[in-house]
A and B are shown apart, each in its own frame.
Chain A
């Protein structure tokens, strides 16, 4: 135990490890907040679709040799989020089919572009790290860290400010609209915030694993808690703890950061399921 502790102290002296921890915790916090809404509104798949779009946008940014790929990835993902939410409501193409088309299309075109135009010597390595985020969190520059901090603070602030409205729109959109809340605007807001979170989270876990970061904490919390507020708080706590633990384990055991965090999330979900099961059994007994 002391050996592990000493090793950690040494690692924590490196700024890139501290950055990774700060950014990891913030991203985990943001992604957990809207998870409950996404799961309950049956929007979980939108997160998945958007993350593939973000991958496609990243590929294009790479091909164009943009110095800061966020400049392209963020707007493209936000626009797609808005479009997906629109189509989900009333068009000929069903919402889920539209999402499948856009997400798989973006994935394929992204990989195709990378293959055709990339000058990188290690193409499959690049693709792998975009998809699974293998090391990018440890190579963040100071600017990226600050951008991440700013966006996270904005996401948390928006969530807190609109908390009651997000609840009303999630629980019963028709009622909210009939009684004078402009639900459309808040749906739009939710979509934009999700897009921002996904672009942020790409740094941490890569585009394929983002959904896990959004959905697992919410599912954990919904096993045990019975009010929207307690579920939201619990989901945030679970997400932050899982991210911290995941990053530390990945540093100590030299495992990929993203998949380690998701593995911790899965473990948390299993633990919560068992506790919930025990509680219902205890309640009956």
Chain B
């Protein structure tokens, strides 16, 4: 049984379609990269699957167990966060909010979970630091730790490496690969970086004028990859 199945999905805002006829499935343990030009609807697709906006038409089915294990999401940074006074601890802990329901305080187990994620991502020395004072790479790791507090099975990442330098980018990719390989967390990632996508991903969803969904190997054979990378270089 697939974790997420999308059937003949059409996306857009206020009834205006920007993308239609999308069908794909994500299974446990997959590492899916969503590729496509700017404005092709990658973020809209992710927001639609997450339920942040309704689909224009079509169907999104989620595995029943998914809601119990939770969904982690690493959105693109918002303007609000740039001058938000919050410590690393407060931000990461807020990832446990989804499991709180009406309960006003976090339990000991939730705090421990936040602490574990902070430690495993190497953020322990930054625990009391202010989120807005951190470097871009550190901020992304904090948001990743927060996302891991919300899930143990499925991560949505919206361009996690945008604006990071090559070294930090490589570190973050390695980290995401580790989560996928060692902890078996399913990863769905939007990326601009075709090279990295082809290196790390197991499946590719290419959206735009031509839509492709399949394994990385099939994508490489399709020739779409070459056209896309060449187009990217010409930009």
Chain B residues, CB < 8 A from A222: 83, 85
Q: Is A249 among interface residues, defined by CB-CB distance under 8 A? A: no
A42 touches B80 (CB 8 A): yes
Q: Is B98 among interface residues, defined by CB-CB distance under 8 A? A: yes
Number of A-B contacts (CB under 8 A): 105
Task: Contacts A226-B133, A228-B86 given; indicate if A174 touches B52 (C-beta within 8 A).
Answer: yes
Query: Which of B50, B75, B83, B98 contacts A172 (CB under 8 A)?
Result: B75
Cα distance A228–B80 in the bound complex, in angstroms:
13
Task: Contacts A164-B94, A171-B81, A172-B81 given; indicate if A227 touches B86 (C-beta within 8 A).
Answer: yes
B85 touches A228 (CB 8 A): yes
B104 touches A177 (CB 8 A): no
Q: Is B91 among interface residues, defined by CB-CB distance under 8 A? A: yes
Query: Which of A162, A178, A226 contacts B71 (CB under 8 A)?
Result: A178
B130 touches A179 (CB 8 A): no
B80 touches A40 (CB 8 A): yes
Cα distance A222–B67 in the bound complex, in angstroms:
36
B94 touches A167 (CB 8 A): yes
Query: Which of A161, A162, A171, A174 contacts B94 (CB under 8 A)?
Result: A171
Q: Is B90 among interface residues, defined by CB-CB distance under 8 A? A: yes
Q: Is A151 among interface residues, defined by CB-CB distance under 8 A? A: no
Chain A residues, CB < 8 A from B85: 36, 221-222, 225-228, 230-231
Interface 0/1 of B53-84, CB less than 8 Å to A: 00000000000000100111101001011011
B97 touches A165 (CB 8 A): yes
Q: Is A98 among interface residues, defined by CB-CB distance under 8 A? A: no
Interface 0/1 of A153-172, CB less than 8 Å to B: 00000001111110110111
Min distance, Cβ B58 to any Cβ of chain A, angstroms: 19
B75 touches A163 (CB 8 A): no
Measured CB to CB, the nearest residue on chain B to A39 is: B83
Most B-side CB within 10 Å, residue of A160, A179, A230 = A179
B106 touches A164 (CB 8 A): yes
Measured CB to CB, the nearest residue on chain A to B85 is: A231
B97 touches A164 (CB 8 A): yes
B52 touches A179 (CB 8 A): no
B80 touches A175 (CB 8 A): no
Q: Is B51 among interface residues, defined by CB-CB distance under 8 A? A: yes
Chain B residues, CB < 8 A from A170: 80, 84
A226 touches B94 (CB 8 A): no
Interface 0/1 of B13-30, CB less than 8 Å to A: 010000000000000000
Min distance, Cβ A43 to any Cβ of chain B, angstroms: 11
B67 touches A179 (CB 8 A): no
A177 touches B94 (CB 8 A): no
Chain B residues, CB < 8 A from A90: 14
A164 touches B84 (CB 8 A): no
Cα distance A230–B94 in the bound complex, in angstroms:
16
Query: Which of A42, A160, A179, A230 contacts B70 (CB under 8 A)?
Result: A179
A179 touches B81 (CB 8 A): no
Measured CB to CB, the nearest residue on chain B to A180 is: B98
A179 touches B80 (CB 8 A): no
Min distance, Cβ A236 to any Cβ of chain B, angstroms: 14
Cα distance A146–B41 in the bound complex, in angstroms:
55
Cα distance A268–B86 in the bound complex, in angstroms:
22
Query: Which of A41, A171, A178, A230 contacts B91 (CB under 8 A)?
Result: A171
Q: Is B109 among interface residues, defined by CB-CB distance under 8 A? A: no
Min distance, Cβ A126 to any Cβ of chain B, angstroms: 40
Q: Is A127 among interface residues, defined by CB-CB distance under 8 A? A: no
Measured CB to CB, the nearest residue on chain B to A167 is: B94
A178 touches B97 (CB 8 A): no
Cα distance A164–B14 in the bound complex, in angstroms:
32
Interface 0/1 of B178-215, CB less than 8 Å to A: 00000000000000000000000000000000000000
Closest 5 CB pairs of A and B: A226-B130, A180-B98, A179-B98, A227-B87, A179-B150
* Listed A/B pairs (22) with beta-carbon separation below 8 Å: A90-B14, A170-B80, A171-B81, A172-B75, A172-B78, A172-B94, A174-B73, A175-B95, A175-B150, A176-B94, A178-B50, A178-B52, A179-B97, A179-B98, A180-B67, A180-B71, A181-B98, A222-B83, A225-B85, A226-B129, A227-B89, A227-B90
Apart from the given pairs A179-B95, A180-B71, 5 other A-B contacts in the complex at a CB distance below 8 Å: A161-B104, A168-B94, A172-B80, A178-B51, A179-B71
Query: Using a CB–CB distance below 8 Å, which chain B residues touch chain A?
Result: 14, 47, 50-52, 67, 70-73, 75, 78, 80-81, 83-87, 89-91, 93-95, 97-100, 104-106, 128-130, 133, 146-147, 150-151, 156
